[in-house]
Amino acid sequence: MNILDKIIADKHKELLLKKLVVPVSQLENSALFKRETVSLANALRESKSGIIAEHKRRSPSKSIINQSLNIEDVARGYERAGVSGMSVLTDGKYFGGSLDDLLYARAAVKMPILRKEFIIDEYQLLEAKAHGADVILLIAAVLEREQIKQLSEFAKNLGLDVLLEVHNEEELKKSIMPSLDMLGVNNRNLKTFKVSTQISKDLSEKIPDDFVKVSESGISSAEAIKELKQYGYEGFLIGENFMKTNNPGENAKKFIEELSS
């Protein structure tokens, strides 16, 4: 059983408990549920940098990244830096995140916020909407085509943008459908955790132009982004590169300035 299998097995257990504690009606009646969302796909199309900056305390591959920062400060710093959107990890057991992180980030900034989570159930989409997310992530490696269709259509009905993440051509082929806004290529091999942007380059021509192309993981230099832009990528998810510093916002600002130089 690889790490992704373990996470999904735990997610099923977690969801059983959550549904008992917080009914759907409570989520639908929350103050943020009727909020009009902001499109990350549109923000990326209009952005010069295309940076989606992430808040991530730890990960299975890197253990602790940064647990000392206030998420509201991080969110404001990212927004001041001029990023296109923010990704907030809400998984607790493996990444040290929570739905409260989403609420605090939403209270602090106006930019699009992605709920980064291992989504397997419509309930999690209702949670995302109720806690102020604009975008949700679906991971092709853990979902069948029919599940991707069902979840992405449900998300669109809630007014949420959908970013679908793939790791290889097989996942990409099963996933292409009109209910997606963005197709993300994760540069991290899930089996070895090795990272290479070559996979983004290899898959770029196979992603139809209807979708905003996003490259995820292992992007640590302005040069890497400039290169990936030549392959049609408009979005770049960066987490550890900013979060491992004492001031993620300031580092994001310097990174974006470097990009435009």
Q: Out of 217, 234, 240, 251, pick the active-site residue.
A: 217
Nearest to 158 by CA among 181, 112, 115, 126: 126
Quick check: is 205 catalytic? no
Quick check: is 216 catalytic? yes
Quick check: is 165 catalytic? yes
Q: Out of 79, 117, 127, 165, pick the active-site residue.
A: 165
Q: Out of 117, 127, 216, 234, pick the active-site residue.
A: 216
Q: Out of 47, 87, 152, 186, pick the active-site residue.
A: 186
Q: Out of 11, 59, 116, 253, pick the active-site residue.
A: 116
Quick check: is 186 catalytic? yes
Q: Out of 56, 129, 213, 253, pick the active-site residue.
A: 56
Tell me, letter by letter, the H, E, C secondary structure of the chain.
CCHHHHHHHHHHHHHHHHHHHCCHHHHHCCCCCCCCCCCHHHHHHHCCCCEEEEECCEECCCEECCCCCCHHHHHHHHHHHCCCEEEEECCCCCCCCCHHHHHHHHHHCCCCEEEECCCCCHHHHHHHHHCCCCEEEEEHHHCCHHHHHHHHHHHHHCCCEEEEEECCHHHHHHHCCCCCCEEEEECECCCCCCECCHHHHHHHCCCCCCCEEEEECCCCCHHHHHHHHCCCEEEEEECHHHHCCCCHHHHHHHHHHHHHC
Bridge pairing between strands 58-59 and 63-64: antiparallel
Q: Out of 11, 47, 54, 253, pick the active-site residue.
A: 54
Residues assigned a catalytic role: 54, 56, 116, 165, 186, 216-217
